[in-house]
Structure 1
Amino acid sequence: MSQPELVLAGMPLGNSDDVTLRFLSLARSADVVVCESRRTAQTLLKRHGIARPDADFLILDEHSSEEDVQDLLGLISAMRQILLVSDAGMPVFCDPGSNMLLKAEQRGWRITVLPGASALTLATVRAGINGAFFFAGFPPRETAERRRFFQGLGKRAETVVFYETPYRTAKTLEEMKQALPGSEKVFVGIDLSGENERVFRFRLAEAERVAKQIPKGAPVIILDRTREERNA
């Protein structure tokens, strides 16, 4: 008996029509869909004419334990093809799925990755970043650790990109202002690719003023350390 195939596929970020034909084909043919939220995955598929019962969706989210992952793998090990998605963007990268991927690989499963939307790529392209940068993930939650995180960004020379939760954007900008020089160039992209997409460019010294204009939404924040004048 051949080993199962685990297919990791990107989900749309801000526009539900940003899916590939290959994704839709697999969403129809896969034996099961492993997802963060059944409602999110099911709603997207229904929009594209794919109706699947609740039983076809299995949950893997940030609260899933090591034991949950083992149980999930045992449940689907006899299946032919498993589709793994997150709520938005690519699974695994700053999202659940890493443990499942590595354990499936150890079991000899075939692993396939479908290209898809990524907030990191969207933000760096929209910001005009065409060289090296450092991706810092999400800032820590604890106050002292956050302070060290932002102070650490000041020790780096290259452009820095990081994610933040929608309700912390203003607080994050204030913390950055306290830890970094006011001359730092900042780019903030909110709900990129969505109908409510907003983009802000400013110096860190202006953070307090700009923060009042930034709506609640999923942000990507960039400390843009590229030169003022870029080659054409």
Structure 2
Amino acid sequence: MSASYSSARGAAREAASSQHYPQGALYVVATPIGNLADITLRALHVLELADVIACEDTRHTQQMLRAYGIDKSAGQLLAVHQHNESEAAQTVIDRLRQNLRVAYVSDAGTPGISDPGARLAAVTTQQGLRCIPLPGASSVTTLLSVAGIGGESADTSGFVFHGFLSSKSTERAHTIGVLAQEPRAVVLLEAPHRIEALAQALAVLGDRQLTLGRELTKQFEEIATMSAGQFSAWLQADANRLRGEFALVLHPAAIAAQGGDAVRILTLLMAELPLKSAVKLAAEITGQPRNALYEQALLLKKQD
């Protein structure tokens, strides 16, 4: 495998070596979420250059490095994961104060995004040391790029990243109830052994649209859009759909779905009040975004 990337390493040195890479700095390096070809040239260069590579799983990282033909000894790899991040951060700080370059990678994707790394970055900056990001693969942005969501109004633009929901059914149901009121898109992550439970919990959202990505960037990548109420049936239709890591995007809720009777209430108020007053009062009654209600009011007025 390493021979396949020999030209990539050469290109990385040619493209990235002219940049300054200070010593005594922590390099937070995004790595592929499945497809090894998604590594960046700058990431390859920094991984070769690093004196120490802090990582979520040393065995996994060593395997990845060997695939790229990068040779690091076991002593150059330092385990920094969710169970030891606070303690291991001090070891990283010691290495940085020795004027070494330390690269940090999680098992896949961008560190600190539902992965270890956030505490390490925080401690590094708190100690007055440099923390340098190397952007790259992320399941969050990968799925968002094809989900086709675009805010129809200022209140529904953008997205909210939530990540993994609680494994406890009561807490998970409560969180979904809260997220149901969120007018923007919501990004969730889930592991294969919990995806059926998540699908059942999301069923309460009914017709709200959902785009899911399974095994993103890998050979059996699957991306599908459906209503939240259809998700369980979609999983059960093919046993292979229960395999692999999942990223999910709940689309912005349609105004009627957000508030149930929001449109009906708005219509009744418009019959008695000026448009702006009706929108203001409807927003207070239903809790729905005023901008979205105003756009709906304009549509209703055109239909008169």
TM-score by length of 2: 0.70
Q: For 2:163, what is the secondary structure of its paired residue?
A: coil
What RMSD, in angstroms, separates the aligned Cα atoms of the two structures?
Answer: 1.8
Distance 1:26 1:75, change over 3 A: closer
Cα separation, 1, equivalents of 2:214 and 2:135: 22
Alignment partner, residue 107 of structure 2? 87
Distance 1:51 1:68, change over 3 A: closer
Show structure 1 runs of 5+ residues with no match.
228-232
Cα separation, 2, equivalents of 1:97 and 1:207: 32
Cα separation, 2, equivalents of 1:136 and 1:211: 22
Q: For 1:140, what is the secondary structure of its paired residue?
A: coil
Instruction: Check whether the contact 1:3–1:109 (CA below 8 A) recurs between aligned residues.
Output: no
Cα separation, 2, equivalents of 1:22 and 1:75: 22
Q: CA deviation at 1:24?
A: 1.0
Q: In the alignment, is residue 62 of structure 1 matched against residue 89 of structure 2?
A: no
Alignment partner, residue 199 of structure 1? 223
Distance 1:129 1:226, change over 3 A: farther
Alignment partner, residue 11 of structure 2? none
State which drifts further: 152-161 or 112-121.
152-161
Show structure 2 runs of 5+ residues with no match.
1-21, 152-157, 255-304
Match among 248, 259, 265 for residue 221 of structure 1: 248
Cα separation, 2, equivalents of 1:205 and 1:57: 45
**How many equivalent pairs are there?**
224
Structure 1, residues 176-221: CA drift from partner, whole Å, max 9, x if none? Answer: 11x32x2111111001111110112111222231021323111011
Instruction: Check whether the contact 2:183–2:253 (CA below 8 A) recurs between aligned residues.
Output: no
Instruction: Check whether the contact 1:10–1:115 (CA below 8 A) recurs between aligned residues.
Output: yes
Alignment partner, residue 112 of structure 1? 132
Q: CA deviation at 1:4?
A: 0.9
Of all paired residues, the percent bearing the same amino acid is: 29
Match among 69, 81, 103 for residue 49 of structure 1: 69
Q: In the alignment, is residue 127 of structure 1 matched against residue 147 of structure 2?
A: yes
Structure 1, residues 118-144: CA drift from partner, whole Å, max 9, x if none? Answer: 100001012122441111121012221
Q: In the alignment, is residue 8 of structure 1 matched against residue 28 of structure 2?
A: yes
Alignment partner, residue 190 of structure 1? 214
Cα separation, 1, equivalents of 2:191 and 2:91: 30
Instruction: Check whether the contact 1:129–1:226 (CA below 8 A) recurs between aligned residues.
Output: no
Distance 1:44 1:3, change over 3 A: closer
Q: CA deviation at 1:155?
A: 1.2
The structure number with the bigger radius of gyration is 2
Instruction: Check whether the contact 1:166–1:216 (CA below 8 A) recurs between aligned residues.
Output: yes
TM-score by length of 1: 0.90
Moved over 6 A (4+): none
Cα separation, 2, equivalents of 1:205 and 1:25: 46
Distance 1:17 1:3, change over 3 A: closer
Distance 1:157 1:226, change over 3 A: closer
Instruction: Check whether the contact 2:95–2:102 (CA below 8 A) recurs between aligned residues.
Output: no
Cα separation, 1, equivalents of 2:63 and 2:149: 34
Name the aligned partner's letter for residue 166 of structure 1.
Answer: P
Cα separation, 2, equivalents of 1:47 and 1:3: 26
Alignment partner, residue 147 of structure 1? 173
Q: CA deviation at 1:65?
A: 4.9
